[in-house]
Structure 1
């Protein structure tokens, strides 16, 4: 289980995360929803070791990830698919994917994972030779997800995977999230598309200005009038 306990994050004089606590059980999809600036991305970046000014505990099994480097966190089985995709536009699809496996030395295992990623994303296999920057927005999102999966994580954190995508592609991305979860991956999902996120999440947390204000099973929060009014348009 990934567990956050009393996490505080500061950016200069800004107190972005104000003592949140949450749990991500193995094999589940947990989502964080909230408005812009609520602290969702800061939470994921803290778990990934990309935020230095943080206090509290981030427990992964028996270990506390606070103070660990991002590379050590990836090696421990926790990967981040960042907001904005952040692919390498001048590298091919396959080169981008192989960079996701940079921590691994098991060549046969890397090929097995690559085959699995291509099975999840057939369009990436068709375009394996193509430069990442020439892909469509949806294909670049698939590439970013595939790259994170190449590290063979136990937990994959996804930051706004549906951002900027057409509705049909949004549905495809969420179908893939459920498929990944069904194949044993734990998912911590940050999304502004609250409706889609709550539909797939086993459990959800609602963040407002750095604090958790609501939590519960995803489907339950879908019917909560407070969530409907604030995030689902009433």
Structure 2
């Protein structure tokens, strides 16, 4: 289980996170929803070791993560698929995946990771020779997720995976997230598409200006009038 307690993050004089606490049980999908600037991405980046925290604790499987460099967080079984995909556009699909396996112990583990990605995303296998920058937006998102899965993490954190995608591709992305979870991965999902996120979430938190203001099961928040009005179009 991932346990975040009293987590605080500041950028200069701006408090991005104001002592938030949340839990992600093993094998579940937990989502964070909220407006731009609420602190959703800061939460994931703090857990991943990419931003300095000003207070709190983060543990995964009862092992402390705060203060570790990102590569050590990854080695503990926690991977981040960042907002905006962040693939390497001038490298091929295969090369992008292989770079995602930099933490693997040997070549066999890298090859196994590539095969897992190709099994999950057959389209990537068809385009393994193609430069990442020539892929469609949906294919680039598949590549970003496949790269994050290369180290076979127990917990995968997804930051806005549906951003900028056509509605039909958004549906495909959420189907893939559910499939990843069904295969045994724990998922912490940050999404602006609150309706799609809450539909697949076992549990959810609402972040507003760096604070958690609501929490409950995905179904409970889908039916909550405050969430409906603020995030689901009334």
Whether the TM-score (by the shorter chain) exceeds 0.5 is: yes
Distance 1:54 1:111 in 2: 39
CA contact under 8 A between 2:18 and 2:210: conserved in structure 1? yes
- Report the secondary structure of 2:97's partner residue: helix
Residue 109 of structure 1 deviates from its aligned partner by 3.0
- Report the secondary structure of 1:57's partner residue: strand
Distance 1:225 1:87 in 2: 38
Aligned to 2:90: 90
Aligned residues: 234
CA contact under 8 A between 1:17 and 1:210: conserved in structure 2? yes
Relative to the length of structure 1, the TM-score reads: 0.98
Q: Write out the 4+ residue segments of structure 1 that deviate beyond 6 Å after TM superposition.
A: none
1:74-94 deviation per Cα after TM superposition (whole angstroms, max 9, x unaligned): 011000000000000010000
Aligned to 2:73: 73
Greater shift in the superposed pair: 59-68 or 122-131: 59-68
Aligned to 2:122: 122
Distance 2:53 2:104 in 1: 29
Distance 1:189 1:182 in 2: 15
Residue 62 of structure 1 deviates from its aligned partner by 2.2
- Report the secondary structure of 1:79's partner residue: strand
Mapping of 1:130-141 within 5 angstroms?
130-141=130-141
Residue 53 of structure 1 deviates from its aligned partner by 3.6
Mapping of 1:1-234 within 5 angstroms?
1-234=1-234
Greater shift in the superposed pair: 110-119 or 210-219: 110-119
RMSD: 0.8
- Report the secondary structure of 1:73's partner residue: helix
Structure 1 unmatched ranges of 5 or more: none
1:175-195 deviation per Cα after TM superposition (whole angstroms, max 9, x unaligned): 000000000000000000000
Distance 2:52 2:108 in 1: 36
Relative to the length of structure 2, the TM-score reads: 0.98
Distance 2:110 2:160 in 1: 26
CA contact under 8 A between 1:11 and 1:53: conserved in structure 2? no
